[in-house]
Amino acid sequence: MKTMLNVALPKGRLGEKVYGMFAAAGFECPSILEPNRKLVFENEEAGVRYFWVKPSDVAIYVERGAADIGVAGKDILLEYAPDVFELLDLNVGKCRMAVAAKKDFRDNPERTLRVATKFARIARTYYAGLGRDIDIIHLNGSIEIAPILGLSDVIVDIVETGKTLLENDLEPLETIVPISARLIANKASFRFKSAAIEAVAERLKGQVPEN
Amino acid sequence: MNPTEYPLKPEERVLFALRDLYSRFGYSQFKMSKFEEYDLYVRNKDFLVSDGVITFTDTDGRLMALKPDVTLSIIKNTRQAPGCVQKVYYSENVYRISGSTRSFKEILQTGLECIGDVDLYSLCEVISLAAQSLKLIDSACVLDLSHMGVVSALVDALTPDGALRAEALRCIGEKNADGVRKLFPEGDIDGLLALISAHGPAPQVIAALRPWCAAPEAAAALNELEAVTGALAANGCECIQVDFSIVNDMNYYNGIVFRGYIDGIPAGVLSGGQYDTLMQRMGRSARAVGFAIYMDLLERLNAEARPYDVDTVLLYDDGADVIELTRAIRLLADSGRSVLAQRAVPEKLRYRQLLRFKDRGIEIIENHA
């Protein structure tokens, strides 16, 4: 019997792009493109079973073995630090994790810096490296509004084009880390389905766009 | 019912089998208190798998901790003698923060430690017992071996910078070749890339890495790995593979480190290695090797589904004669069947046989057997 790989893909634009890479690498599953509300799609011949999950949940599905492999942003991997293998940088979904503030912001090192973010661990690690004392304000969305209303001094968030920042009179100050989508694998699945997982990684390599 | 026939849960069955295995190889059980002075863990904080420790103040004012780890307590209690090794096994609850929920959990951990004049034989024995332990849990298992000497020699050749080394180790643990490329854009990283991509049967992996291990330390480490895997293969340990993504903290571990996986359990169930460096940090000159099995993960193993919750349900009425009823239940239980006395059948209960107790005797209502 052919080994079936469970593949967790992130719902949304990035997921569709990544599926395109899988399909071009020989792991297509045409039913996935039909307009319906199904979440699981299988192509027994190619040995893959795809399912769509929330992008921030992909790492959890893979870490806990419900999916053998998956595609997650480096931001999620840094924030949740799941115990998984990071097999390939897919070089898509590129953006950066950055510190941003109001255009007239002046840093006062004598005071604790108030940082609003969805990515508490990344922010904490970054400022710990600088030896800076910070106060993390954990928000779940619309981070840009925090410095405008005086809730925080700066924000740590994903910046793609910088358009949202600009429209809200904010500007990026520092890049913490560049982000892109990564192919991840469950550590136990890798031991038992290594040939199948490595075949996917190897064939996907040919689909990774140049910079 | 005979206790040996009692439907044991997979982790209980494994626990008995492991105790039997370890004692057959001369390991004696190490029993310890649930509490230990907090100080022991503060001094070796990085050795602990999780960062949180549950503490409380003892009646004499000492700050105590609920054991988050067993190895440190065992090292504390060892005595040294030339040419001898102390061989102990344990089965203890430890208290740790669980990675996914970030809350404290009680985890049953079983394992063994071999401390003292550890030689090549002792090393092989411990790894072979780790492999046999995995086999007892499930025949679909893999024991991955790595050698910290090989890993550190290849990383050291690239950079002396502590932070970069830590980052490189993390990338090796993640099999993150792209990460290594970004970390050393100018460096000659072919050796590290070979290390990351090489995994599988020992002879092939060792041969593939040989060209990158010309330096004396790296060559000695690779030779040791070859000697150990060769001896184990000759003794029928076929589940052993080599994979250098097993990287434990270099501040504590040196030499061979290993991790065991069971098909169907998403994380490694067995973890171990040589920890001579930890021994030195605790002021001991002896060498040591050991491993632990995280028994809580075995709950995920498929237990054989039991078709029935109970063999017999015996229904009785409110006015039933208690003496006669007790006698009837005793008779049924003594015949080797499980009996549940009820006045009404509980919802969703699965049973082989439904009986009703009457003054004149027992009436069979349903029989599925």
Instruction: For helices B120-137 and B216-234, give the axis angle rounded to 10 degrees.
Output: 50
Residue A68 has pLDDT above 50, yes or no: yes
| B94's tokens | 């430890």
Q: Tokens 């401390």 sit at which residue?
A: B115
Confidence of residue A83 (pLDDT cuts 50, 70, 90): very high
- CB atoms A65 and B267 under 8 Å: yes
At residue B57, the pLDDT reads: 93
What single letter denotes the amino acid at residue A18? V
Per residue of chain B (369 residues), what is the pLDDT tens digit? 444 445 677 788 899 999 999 999 999 999 888 888 888 888 877 777 667 888 899 999 999 999 888 888 888 888 877 888 999 999 999 898 876 556 788 888 999 999 998 999 999 999 999 999 999 999 999 999 999 999 999 999 998 888 899 899 999 999 999 999 999 998 889 999 999 999 999 999 999 999 999 999 999 999 999 999 999 999 888 899 999 999 877 778 889 999 999 998 888 999 999 998 888 888 888 899 999 999 888 876 765 566 788 899 999 998 888 999 999 999 989 988 889 999 999 888 889 999 999 877 888 998 886
- Residues 21 through 80 of chain A touching chain B, CB cutoff 8 Å: 60, 63-66
Q: Does B203 touch chain A (CB under 8 A)?
A: no
User: Using CB atoms, which residue from A64, A85, A87 is nearest to B266?
Assistant: A64
Q: Find the largest Cα–Cα distance for chain A.
A: 65
Q: Does B144 touch chain A (CB under 8 A)?
A: yes
Residue B207's contacts (CB-CB under 8 Å, 6 or more residues apart) are none
| A137's tokens | 């304000």
Alpha-carbon distance A25 to A39, whole Å? Answer: 22
Alpha-carbon distance A137 to A118, whole Å? Answer: 9
The answer to whether the beta carbons of residues B357 and B325 sit under 8 Å apart is: yes
Q: Tokens 């632990």 sit at which residue?
A: B292
| B335's tokens | 């015949």
At residue B3, the pLDDT reads: 45
User: Using CB atoms, which residue from B140, B175, B261 is nearest to A86?
Assistant: B175
Residue A44 has pLDDT above 60, yes or no: yes
> pLDDT digit string (tens) for A142-165?
999 999 998 999 999 999 998 989
Residue B283's contacts (CB-CB under 8 Å, 6 or more residues apart) are none
- B292 phi and psi angles, rounded to 5 deg: -130, 150
3-state secondary structure chain A: CCCCEEEEEECCHHHHHHHHHHHHCCCCCHHHHCCCCCCEEEECCCCEEEEEECHHHHHHHHHCCCCCEEEEEHHHHHHHCCCEEEEEECCCCCEEEEEEEECCCCCCCCCCEEEEECCHHHHHHHHHHHCCCEEEEECCCCCCHHHHCCCCCEEEEEECCCHHHHHCCEEEEEEEEEECEEEEEEHHHHHHCHHHHHHHHHHHHCCCCCC
Alpha-carbon distance B128 to B131, whole Å? Answer: 5
Alpha-carbon distance B81 to B103, whole Å? Answer: 42
- pTM attached to this predicted model: 0.80
- CB atoms A194 and B175 under 8 Å: no
What single letter denotes the amino acid at residue A74? K
Count CB atoms within 10 A of the CB of residue B59: 6
How confident is the model over A25-47, as a mean pLDDT? 86
Residue A40 has pLDDT above 90, yes or no: no
Residue A60 has pLDDT above 90, yes or no: yes
Rg (CA), chain A: 19
Count CB atoms within 10 A of the CB of residue A171: 15
Of A80, A123, A121, A81, the closest CA to residue A100 belongs to: A123
User: Using CB atoms, which residue from B178, B179, B261 is nearest to A191?
Assistant: B261
Alpha-carbon distance A68 to B143, whole Å? Answer: 19
The answer to whether the beta carbons of residues A88 and A204 sit under 8 Å apart is: yes
The answer to whether the beta carbons of residues A41 and A32 sit under 8 Å apart is: yes
- For domain B7-117+275-306, the CATH superfamily is Bira Bifunctional Protein; Domain 2 (3.30.930.10)
How confident is the model over A170-198, as a mean pLDDT? 95
The answer to whether the beta carbons of residues B89 and B30 sit under 8 Å apart is: yes
User: Using CB atoms, which residue from A65, A185, A191 is nearest to B142?
Assistant: A191
How confident is the model over A86-101, as a mean pLDDT? 95
- CB atoms A86 and B174 under 8 Å: yes
| A45's tokens | 């011949």
At residue B305, the pLDDT reads: 61
- CB atoms B144 and A83 under 8 Å: no
Q: Does B263 touch chain A (CB under 8 A)?
A: yes
Residue A196 has pLDDT above 50, yes or no: yes
| B112's tokens | 């063994």
The answer to whether the beta carbons of residues A182 and A84 sit under 8 Å apart is: no
- CB atoms B199 and A194 under 8 Å: yes
Within chain B, all domains assigned CATH 3.30.930.10 are found at: 7-117+275-306
DSSP lists the bridge partners of residue A41 as A50
C-alpha dist (Å) from residue B329 to B52, B337, B352, B354, B365: 50, 10, 16, 13, 16
Residue A80's contacts (CB-CB under 8 Å, 6 or more residues apart) are A56, A59, A60, A121
- CB atoms B268 and A187 under 8 Å: yes
